[in-house]
Copies of this chain bind each other. A is one copy, B any other.
Amino acid sequence: MVTIYDIAQKANVSPMTVSRVINKSGNISETTRKKVEEIIKEMGYIPNSSARKLSTNKSKILALVITDITNPFFTKVTRGAEDKAMQMGYQLILCNTDENLKKESDYINMLISSGVDGVLITPTGDQSKKNLRTLIKHNIPFTLLDRKIEDIQSDEVNGDSREGTRKLIEHLINQGHEKIALFNGPLNTSTARERQKAYIETLKIYGLEANEIYQSHYKQENANENVKKLLSLSITERPTAIFAANNFIAVNTIKALHLHNVNVPEEMSVVCFDDLGPVDLYPFLTVASQPAYNFGFTGTQLLIDRIEKKAPPEYRKIVLPAELIVRKSSINIKDTKTLS
């Protein structure tokens, strides 16, 4: 391994001079600088960041901890975070927790251990509080993305679950739906709680009842059970539309509906939060689309500001809007009725 000592020797200077050239710190004569730079290139020297980290306590590395790398929402978040990080001279490493608290804890320990400068994190749920407290204890700044955690003070970038939900539900109501079910994510996440609350509130405004609420995981593989329960209702009680808390729940729900020979949207409308991403061949789902890229981009900005002490003392909470995109999965049932 090539070290600054090797460079120093070849250049007939002290290691300190080499260090100064590398870090562009202090004043170095043009001649020695050029000579040193040449030798660095020639020998293919790459600084040892462990050593550097040990003496400076900085790494110029950020970590992005997401809950599901297979979800296009998070891959877009990642692209945004990457771009901002690069632009600011940081490297980004990605950690995928798979919505699993244990994996999250392991990653947090690894990140503290390896000394990243800051962490962007979508916590797996409220139990993540202990992991965030660990970060706090070790003085590692972090930004919360997409999910809030009670009692944890930090910069945050969240979607507007309330408005997004309202738009989706009002859209369904405008289409003539009066019984709308919620297929929610786990209630230990702030997004699921907020979407549920907004769902109930919006229905209430229109004098409708919110009595069909089903729980599941955000990346559930078996929407089947909930769909079965829904379909076991008598035809007069059965909802005509489903509001799914995210894209995966929606996709799995639709697939389960097909298994039971229920057509979407003819017999059941389905809407959800978040788009399906770049491989969506025939965009079909009506969604509340969130600016995922911007979650990552803005979150990284907040984090770097905090790391470099350029942030205001009070924590910043950014709320990004959700846009209603109407597609074929939600149909106007008034028309259907008149037609039949």
- Asked if A70 is at the interface (CB within 8 A of a chain B CB), the reply is yes
Minimum Cβ distance to chain B for residue A101 (Å)? 14
Minimum Cβ distance to chain B for residue A59 (Å)? 8
Minimum Cβ distance to chain B for residue A45 (Å)? 10
Q: Which of B44, B46, B95, B134 is within 8 Å of A93, CB to CB?
A: B95
* Contact A70–B278 (Cβ < 8 Å): yes
Contacts A54-B54, A75-B69, A96-B82; A113 near B46 (Cβ below 8 A): yes
Query: Which residues in window 268-296 of A have CB below 8 A to B?
Result: 276-282, 284-285
Q: Which residues of B contact A47 (CB under 8 A)?
A: 113
Closest to A78 in B: B69
Number of interface residues of A (CB under 8 A): 54
Rounded to whole angstroms, the CA-CA distance of A250 and B49 in the bound complex is 42
Copies in the complex: 2
Contacts A72-B279, A91-B106, A247-B279; A46 near B138 (Cβ below 8 A): yes
Rounded to whole angstroms, the CA-CA distance of A158 and B109 in the bound complex is 33
* Contact B91–A107 (Cβ < 8 Å): yes
Rounded to whole angstroms, the CA-CA distance of A51 and B59 in the bound complex is 13
- Asked if A53 is at the interface (CB within 8 A of a chain B CB), the reply is yes
Closest to A47 in B: B113
Q: Which of B69, B70, B112, B281 is within 8 Å of A46, CB to CB?
A: B112
- Asked if A48 is at the interface (CB within 8 A of a chain B CB), the reply is yes
Query: Which residues in window 68-100 of A have CB below 8 A to B?
Result: 69-72, 75-76, 78-79, 82, 86, 91, 93-96, 98
- Asked if A110 is at the interface (CB within 8 A of a chain B CB), the reply is yes
Q: Which residues of B contact A137 (CB under 8 A)?
A: 44
Query: Which residues in window 99-122 of A have CB below 8 A to B?
Result: 103, 106-107, 109-110, 112-115
Minimum Cβ distance to chain B for residue A211 (Å)? 28
* Contact A94–B93 (Cβ < 8 Å): yes
* Contact A69–B70 (Cβ < 8 Å): no
* Contact B94–A94 (Cβ < 8 Å): yes
- Asked if A1 is at the interface (CB within 8 A of a chain B CB), the reply is yes
- Asked if A174 is at the interface (CB within 8 A of a chain B CB), the reply is no
Q: Which residues of B contact A76 (CB under 8 A)?
A: 70
Question: Which of A106, A113, A247, A282 counts the most B-chain CB atoms under 10 A from its CB?
Answer: A113
Q: Which 10 A-B pairs have the closest CB atoms?
A: A94-B94, A50-B50, A93-B93, A50-B53, A276-B279, A49-B113, A70-B75, A91-B110, A49-B114, A50-B54
**7 A–B contacts, CB within 8 A, in A order:** A47-B113, A49-B113, A50-B54, A50-B114, A70-B75, A70-B277, A276-B279
Which A residues are closer than 8 A to B by beta carbons? Answer: 1, 44, 46-51, 53-54, 59, 61, 69-72, 75-76, 78-79, 82, 86, 91, 93-96, 98, 103, 106-107, 109-110, 112-115, 134, 137-138, 247-248, 251, 254-255, 276-282, 284-285
